[in-house]
Amino acid sequence: MNTSRSRGRTWQSAALAVLLTTGAFTAAAPRAHGAGARTETAVASSGPVDGVSESVVRVKVPLPASFGPRPAACDWLSYLRYRATDGPAASGDADRILVAQPGILEGAGAFDSVARDTVARAAEQGRHIEFWALDRRSDCLEDHTGITSGDQHTAVDYYYRGKQVGGHAFAGYVGNDRLGWMARLGIEQTVRDQYDLLAAELPDQGLRKRKVLCGGHSLGGVITGYFATADFDGDPATTSDAGYNQCAGYFALDTTVSTSLGDLSGSIPDDTDLPDVGLGYGVVQAGLDSGVLSRTLSAPLLLNPETMNLLAIAGLGAVRNPGGEADLPSYLPSSTNIEATNRFLFSKDAATFLSGSPAVKDFRLTNAAVLGALMDDNSVPLAFLQSSVGFFDGGPIADKNFPAANSDKKLPGLFGVEYKAIPAQPHGPLYTWRNYDRVGAADDPGYRSADGTPFTNAGKEVTDIHELARSLAEQPLDFTEQYFPTKLITDLELAASPQVKQLVVHPEGLTADPTLTVLAGDGLLAGRIPTDLHPVVAAGYQHLDVLTAAPVQNNGLPEPVSTNLARFAGEPKQP
């Protein structure tokens, strides 16, 4: 989930002007061999889709020694494996295997709904397919202990009050000074990890070429583009190792399969700690190596490990007691980060943001309404976090005119396309959440903006908030990503540099295999759909909805993303 950046961004401090280069991909066999090099653990789910089994798979593929010291867990690659329960136990015997790269600030858990629905759709058509949701290597740093307790108060006590869970204490979020190994975790290593994982799990290259569909969501489409054009043995004349020869086809979810960030405008905010790309590859790399630049994508509010983890904590409350009155805003301890984030997300206007009153804790909200306020496209003013999960209910609603006014017709892509709303009465009624499938019902008040515009309608609501909560709170690999490697973005923004250009060895790989492009109608490419790609456009969907939408939509039809993925899994043909 990334954007082309302004050339005028200023560094927080000067980077070392040392020219550093990287080589093209060199021959390297997967380093996962012997007993204990692979684990697979079944995952219990309360999801509504029957006939789909989930497991978390971990494969030992150590980083090169040149990366330096890192936690032992970071020498493993992980993914969520979804398959038909009555299908073959061995992945190689499946009819197709979809392998999905996540976007920015996104983990494997974000694919939970679309993965289950796609496997189930294919099974209805008599095909047994698998869906592998990949986790980035850097997700090894996350501590899920508090979330896996299943209790919101326990989670808050674990992460904020030093209380142990199962004899384990939270060690704190990992600072930049302990992330030296991530300074080299860019596009080269990311696609190498995918290749090594595929080669370890499916050693027969011919089988991979026949059965594997490679793709991703958002930034995952660009990663897939680099994977398709890569050469993994260091000899361009031999092509059995080429990325495009590991795939029978490609799929892109609200993105395109390419080696350009141009189609991802508006997907991350501009206040993150990224350098001005005009400084050049060597200077940027030197800044990462020295630690002058943050080695993980971060911002003073919203985008940091703590706030990403808070989404999962909010999800816990919505899973366990969606209609109960939330106490999370008051139970969380006060901190500059939490206060600034709450003000940004829950201020009606600039005056409210500056004064801090009324604050989110001054409103009575159900647990589901708290999550809706954090994730819904009519509430959160950040396009890359938006899904269409319903609307506030239970009391008067006002326009949310911060950080931008609903009347502004030239909103930047960052904010999304929908009018924003907020509860209007502090210390008043209990605000509930109207789920996606109750918008437009006979008892729907039909809330409108001050200018008379309806905030939403049934055609624009597509994701079940209960399923979103479950994906956030119940997955062993996170929905969100706490430690996104900065180098992955700086590499892609510096795509014209010799160090990155040399990684595109087989440009013909982008068109070597059939491609399915599925776009969110109100997502990143809204208003500029690339018709030459003949995409499937999911009407009313936001950027995250292509992963989270409910299996049956408000029009009574099956969900289009999983339906088309299942169809594509049965149809790709070599040109």
pLDDT computed for residue 201 by the predictor: 98
**Does one domain contain both 102 and 246?**
yes
Q: What is the pLDDT of residue 415?
A: 78
Counted domains in the chain: 2
Query: Does some domain include residue 21?
Result: no
| Whole-angstrom distance, CA of residue 194 vs CA of residue 429 | 50
Residue 531 lies in a domain: yes
Cα–Cα dist 465/376, whole Å: 9
Same domain, 466 and 488: no
Q: Residue 167, SS3?
A: coil
Q: Is 210 helix (H, G, I), strand (E, B) or coil?
A: helix
Give me the CATH number covering residue 527. Answer: 3.40.50.1820
Give the end of a domain, one of 472, 493, 527: 472
Q: Report the candidate in 103, 390, 42, 225 with the shortest Cα–Cα distance to residue 114.
A: 103
Q: Are residues 240 and 199 in the same domain?
A: yes
Domain boundary among 441, 472, 503: 472
Instruction: Select from 472, 503, 535 the last residue of a domain.
Output: 472
What residue numbers bound the domain in which 124 lies? 38-297+481-570
Is residue 426 situated within a structural domain? yes
549 and 456 part of one domain: no
Flag whether 71 is in a domain: yes
pLDDT band at 278 (very low <50, low <70, confident <90, very high): low
- 454-491: per-residue pLDDT in tens? 999 999 999 999 999 999 999 999 999 999 999 999 99
Q: What is the four-CA torsion angle of 77, 79, 85, 87, rounded to 10 degrees?
A: -60
In-domain check, residue 357: yes
Given the structure tokens 């330096």, which residue do they identify?
68
In this prediction, residue 264 carries a pLDDT of 73
Q: Are residues 243 and 364 in the same domain?
A: no
Quick one: 82 and 151 in the same domain? yes
Q: Is 178 domain-assigned?
A: yes
Looking at the fold, whether 511 and 458 belong to one and the same domain comes out as no
Mean pLDDT in residue range 38-46: 93
Q: How many other C-beta atoms are found inside a 10 Å radius of the C-beta of residue 402?
A: 21
Question: Tens digits of per-residue pLDDT, 159-175?
Answer: 999 999 999 999 999 99
Length of the chain: 575
Give the model's pLDDT for residue 517: 97
* 172 dihedral zone (left: phi>0; alpha: psi -120 to 50; beta): left
Interval 193-209 mean pLDDT: 98
pLDDT tens digits, 10-40? 222 222 222 222 334 444 444 444 558 999 9
The pLDDT value given to residue 416: 82
Residues 85-103: pLDDT tens digits? 999 999 999 999 999 999 9
Mean of the per-residue pLDDT values of the chain: 90
20 in a structural domain: no
Is the same domain home to 159 and 45? Answer: yes
pTM: 0.91
Name the token pair of 366. Answer: 């159900």
Q: Which two tokens stand for residue 476?
A: 């062993």
Do 460 and 488 sit in the same domain of this protein?
Answer: no
Average pLDDT over residues 54-79: 97
217 and 341 share one domain: no
Q: How many distinct helices (H) and strands (E) make up the chain?
A: 17, 14
Give one DSSP letter per residue of 248-296, joined into a string.
Answer: SEEEEESS-SSS-SGGGTTSS-TTSS---GGG-HHHHHHHHHHTSS-SB
Same domain, yes or no: 215 and 345: no
Give the 3-state secondary structure percentages of the chain, helix then strand then coil, rounded to 5: 35, 15, 50
Peptide bond into 88 cis (omega under 30): no
Q: Is residue 306 part of a domain?
A: no
- Cα distances (angstroms) measured from residue 510 to each of 4, 227, 231: 21, 9, 13
On whether both 273 and 421 belong to a single domain, the answer is no
Respond yes or no on whether the N-terminal peptide bond of residue 358 is cis (omega within 30° of 0). Answer: yes
